[in-house]
Amino acid sequence: MEPRQMTDTWKVTLPCTREEADSLSEDGFFISSTDSVPTIVTREADPKTPDDWVIETYCDKEPDPVFLDKICELSPSAKLSDTDPMVEKLADQDWVSMSQAGLEPLRAGRFYVHTSNSAPLDDKAVVNICIDAGQAFGTGHHETTMGCLESLDRLKRLGQGFDNIIDVGTGTGLLAFAARHLWPTAQIMASDIDPVAVQVSAANAATNNIAVGYGYRAIKLETSNGLDHPAIGRRAPFDLIIANILAGPLIALAPQIAAAAAPDTVLILAGLLKTQQRDVVHAYMRQGFRLRHRRVENEWPCLTLVKAKEFGPAKSLKISRSPPASDYFGEC
């Protein structure tokens, strides 16, 4: 790999909420007012306050007022509090590498997730995945993605096999890549509402020597609002569905996900806070799913559900009462 050219760098920092940070990978918002494309990195400000996040934008030209106004649009909460973005000049820096500097490699089950600034582990028992931070959510360095990796690893250790998998809201593609390593002969799709995330996933697949497209063992990438894409409908029903997005979209997508699931389909849900899990689980119980396992990292649960055998497609469900809370918040 050729070294990146050093240049003057400007960093713009703005506080935001976690929901605002996640929305950056959903709306495809292009903030550049110049010919250069900035690098946008979002991170949790403090694990003790999981809703407090920060947007860091790196660019190679001094931000003008139009540029700064557009950045402020990314964080309505900052605008409401009259918080101005902090602008710093970082001279003679490799700013793309610098944006990765705070991302230490991590271990989640058999997976070792690292950036291009860190070496993979020389261990046959470890699955190395290289993911650089950029304009898509899901580097593996947040509790939600880490919880999904641990849950996927757990399913494999329990001896579960899958033939038809989809990762909804794939972000960087990381969870789809993990599924490919765990179930190498499965048919796998990965979708995202943001076309930039799909492009990022394709680039990350190339970095990790994972084929994309329709070929054998290739991951099929699609830009899709939920599961609306016709290609997703043609491949359904899936026997493993992964969705690491926000609680609101998870609840809204429950009927679509249920329609794409067969009896005994395993569903992994993440991106929600502990305070939101009751509403999320309730939405999926109404579609015929039952909670089987819950893993909580700080305030971020990762839920594993299974569609009950007696339930067919979502459109056939007729549930007249809400299940009691004890049905889905007992030990699992």
Binding-site residues, in ranges, read: 145, 169, 192, 244
Alpha helices by DSSP H, listed for the chain, are 18-23, 65-73, 76-80, 95-100, 143-157, 174-182, 195-207, 230-235, 247-259, 277-285
Q: Which of 173, 144, 183 is nearest to 268 (CA)?
A: 144
Tokens of 138: 């899901």
Q: Which residues are annotated as a binding site for S-adenosyl-L-methionine?
A: 145, 169, 192, 244
Distance (Å, rounded) from C-alpha 294 to C-alpha 54? 28
**What is the residue type of 123?**
D
Distance (Å, rounded) from C-alpha 294 to C-alpha 132? 28
Write the Ramachandran bin of 56: left for phi over 0, alpha for psi from -120 to 50, otherwise beta. beta
Is beta strand 106-108 parallel, antiparallel or unpaired with respect to 111-114?
antiparallel
Tokens of 49: 């306050």
Alpha helices by DSSP H, listed for 81-225, are 95-100, 143-157, 174-182, 195-207
Distance (Å, rounded) from C-alpha 262 to C-alpha 259? 8
CA terminus-to-terminus distance, the chain: 47
Give the neighbor-by-neighbor strand order of the sheet with 52-59.
39-44, 52-59, 7-17, 86-93
Tokens of 230: 């016709």
- Sign of the torsion angle spanned by Cα atoms 245, 189, 160, 283: positive
Beta pairing partners, 90: 9
Place of tokens 């991170």: 43
Tokens of 7: 């240049």
- Neighbouring CB atoms inside 10 A of 50's CB total 19
Three-state DSSP class for residue 324 = coil
